Amino acid sequence: MTAWRERALWAVALGSLLLLMVVSLWLGRYQVPLGDLVGVLVGRDGGMPEERRALLHSIVLGTRLPRIAGAVVVGGALSVSGAGFQAVFRNPLVSPGLLGVLAGAGFGAALGIVAGASPMGMHLLSFAGGAVAVAVAVGVARLFDAASMLMLVFSGLVSTALFTALLSLLKYVADPDRQLPDIVFWLLGSLTQVTGADLGMMAVPVAIGIGVLTLCGRMLDALAMGDDEARTLGVPVGVLRYGVIAAATVLSAVTVSVAGMIGWIGLIVPHVARLLAGPCNARVLPLSACLGGAFLLVCDDLARCVSVEEIPVGLIADLLGVVVFLGVLRLIRRGWVE
Amino acid sequence: MTGLVVDSLSFARGGRTILDGVSFAMQAGEMVALLGPNGAGKTTLLRLVLRLLRPRSGRVLLDGRAIAGMTRRVLATHLAYVPQGHGVVFPYRVRDVVALGRLAGGAMLAPVVPAADREAAAEAMARLAIGHLADRSYAALSGGERQAVLIARALAQGARLLVLDEPETGLDYGQQQRLSGLLRGLAGEGYGILATTHDPLRAARNFSRAILMREGRLVADGPAAEMLSAQAIAGLYGFTAVSAPPA
């Protein structure tokens, strides 16, 4: 890709994301005139009556903005996480849930609901659940054969099965009137509960995770050639593999702790990024963040605008993901780069 | 000048000895062919030299320094590995693959390939006359073209000692001839070449030195043309020579 094409690609990607965010602020049940919206956003709303100004601020900045920012951050984090897992496992079919992080985080959140934890406690339990599940997978793999990637995939299956079973146990013992519906809705994935405080909590780990993975981009390209070759090219393979798994796990676990189970866009979005920018990870990872954010934002707009009753965004993301993935498969069949 | 010393190297797996007290030394500019039947320990020896395996005993020295104490990165600037042309899942372009050779010598954490690395990669591709492949997908190349790309990557790496694993596998006759010419040219420039091979005749013609291995031991080591008589080859691979060699 020439430097000019690369700059154009980034300009279009970032520009579309920004435009999409402004449009999303405007969309919603309560009609905000475009002029008023811009006024609120750029701080030129002094001419409005005080009451209307407060209402618009509450709708646009208090309700819509955190949710929109949440969609972008969650979608971006999940997509980068998926791209990282795909690079480490040299396999384009891998999704962020491979090592059990989604199952573990889902279990943690359900535990929080059953135990009646505070919102903050739920975030922490969910995050911890995801981290523990991946630690279990890595630990089991190291117990048998630390060097084998296939063993790591199998132990990921073990960990996923374990935490899925534990989650079922929690569903079984949960109060069917109060707790069970909460668990089910949590697992469907939703951005309705995202607050400014949540965003503040997510921002640092997500920014660090995306940054670390992007910096590892060229080493991950070397890893694509195989472990031995990467070693002879000077790459510390063990440190890289576990470092990337840790960063990708943090990214995924954070998203579940805030937005519930929105899994498989992490598998699809990196494919779209590769179609646009080629396979080099230093480009695929940040572009996945941008595209994933835009994709989940579109899903969330549909979730809140398609019907009067809100539809869980995880459900929309799954459905829309199917359509996008079919398109990707068609293009991949025709060849990736040439 | 890069000198490689292999000092009584042994390796065992699961109680079975695979390599037993192998020693040799090679200098820059030497072309050493490693021959022997399957299971003789050739590939194990290469992997020990590349530090992809840990020896049971013995050591490998580069310029007098033990490789066991080097970081991967330092090792990569001394020693480059040319594997057999293999597939890659993701469709990297040839220029991306060659530029990976620059990782060890440059900025590993750079988010983009630095301009100096791109130039070094272009130079290495020109050297192998594969500049026209630069924007092709590596995965779509033929075996011979992949081999050339991996050698270009090794040159871009800047290491003076190249370790090749059966480089002529999958190449047609013309490609094998070109590869031999290229390796001889590199040796003439002071590169050290250490390669496993299954072709004694080619080794006798092109390499300056041959090391014969059998059942994990080094059985002979000397000038390739002398070492690889029909009798020696028959003895090494365990068959009877049909006709006696000319006296």
Q: In what order do the strands lie in the sheet with B4-13?
A: B16-26, B4-13, B57-62, B65-66
Tell me which residue of A149, A85, A70, A97 sits closest to A284, measured CA to CA: A85
Indicate whether A64 belongs to any domain: yes
The single-letter code of the amino acid at B194 is L
pLDDT value at residue A335: 54
For chain B positions 42-101, those within 8 Å of chain A (CB to CB) are 47, 50-52, 71-73, 75-77, 79-81, 83, 86, 88-93, 96-97, 100-101
Its ipTM equals 0.91
For the cut 50, the answer to whether the pLDDT of residue B86 exceeds it is yes
Q: What is the span of the domain harbouring residue A75? A: 3-333
- In which element (H, E) is residue B23 found? strand B16-26
pLDDT digits over A143-155, tens only? Answer: 887 678 888 899 9
Question: Span B57-75, mean pLDDT?
Answer: 93
pLDDT digits over A65-101, tens only? Answer: 999 999 999 999 999 999 999 999 998 888 888 999 9
- Which phi and psi angles does A312 have, rounded to 5°? -60, 135
Give the confidence band of A333 by pLDDT, cuts at 50, 70, 90: low
- Residue predicted with more confidence, A210 or B113: A210
Give the confidence band of A301 by pLDDT, cuts at 50, 70, 90: very high
Domains in chain A, number: 1
pLDDT value at residue A295: 96
Question: Span A203-220, mean pLDDT?
Answer: 94
- Nearest-angstrom CA–CA distance, B108 and A157: 32
Tell me which residue of B58, B1, B72, B57 sits closest to B30, measured CA to CA: B1
Give the confidence band of B247 by pLDDT, cuts at 50, 70, 90: low
Indicate whether A300 belongs to any domain: yes
pLDDT value at residue B189: 93
pLDDT value at residue B60: 95
Give the confidence band of A337 by pLDDT, cuts at 50, 70, 90: very low
Q: Does B108 touch chain A (CB under 8 A)?
A: yes
Six token digits for residue B25: 């030394």
Please report, to the nearest 10 degrees, the dihedral formed by the alpha carbons of residues A43, A48, A54, A56 taken in order.
-70
Indicate whether A338 belongs to any domain: no
Q: What are the extents of the domains in chain B?
A: 4-237
Inter-chain residue contact B103 with A233, CB threshold 8 Å? yes
Six token digits for residue B122: 């272009």
Which of B47, B71, B100 lies at the smallest CB-CB distance from A222? B100
Indicate whether A236 belongs to any domain: yes
A vs B, Cβ pairs < 8 A, gives 97
Question: Span A155-174, mean pLDDT?
Answer: 95
Indicate whether A280 belongs to any domain: yes
Q: Which of A230-234, A324-328, B74-78, B154-158 has the lowest mean pLDDT?
A: A324-328
Indicate whether A58 belongs to any domain: yes
Indicate whether A161 belongs to any domain: yes
CATH of the domain at A199: 1.10.3470.10
Give the confidence band of A338 by pLDDT, cuts at 50, 70, 90: very low
For the cut 80, the answer to whether the pLDDT of residue B80 exceeds it is yes
CB A77 within 8 A of CB A210: yes
Residue A210 C-alpha, separation from nearest chain B C-alpha, in angstroms = 12
pLDDT value at residue A269: 94
Residue A98 C-alpha, separation from nearest chain B C-alpha, in angstroms = 18
Indicate whether A115 belongs to any domain: yes
Question: Span B164-193, mean pLDDT?
Answer: 90
pLDDT value at residue B242: 62
- Nearest-angstrom CA–CA distance, B96 and B82: 16
Within 8 A of B50 by CB-CB distance, chain A residues are 228, 231-232
- DSSP H helices, B42-114, are 42-49, 72-78, 94-99
For the cut 60, the answer to whether the pLDDT of residue B1 exceeds it is no
Tell me which residue of A285, A286, A272 sits closest to A325, measured CA to CA: A272
Question: Span A88-117, mean pLDDT?
Answer: 91
Provide the mean pLDDT of chain A: 90
Within 8 A of A239 by CB-CB distance, chain B residues are none
Inter-chain residue contact B91 with A336, CB threshold 8 Å? yes
pLDDT value at residue A281: 94
**Span B4-237 CATH architecture:** 3-Layer(aba) Sandwich (3.40)
Provide the mean pLDDT of chain B: 89
Q: Which of A280-284, B94-98, B201-205 has the lowest mean pLDDT?
A: B201-205
Question: Span B20-36, mean pLDDT?
Answer: 93
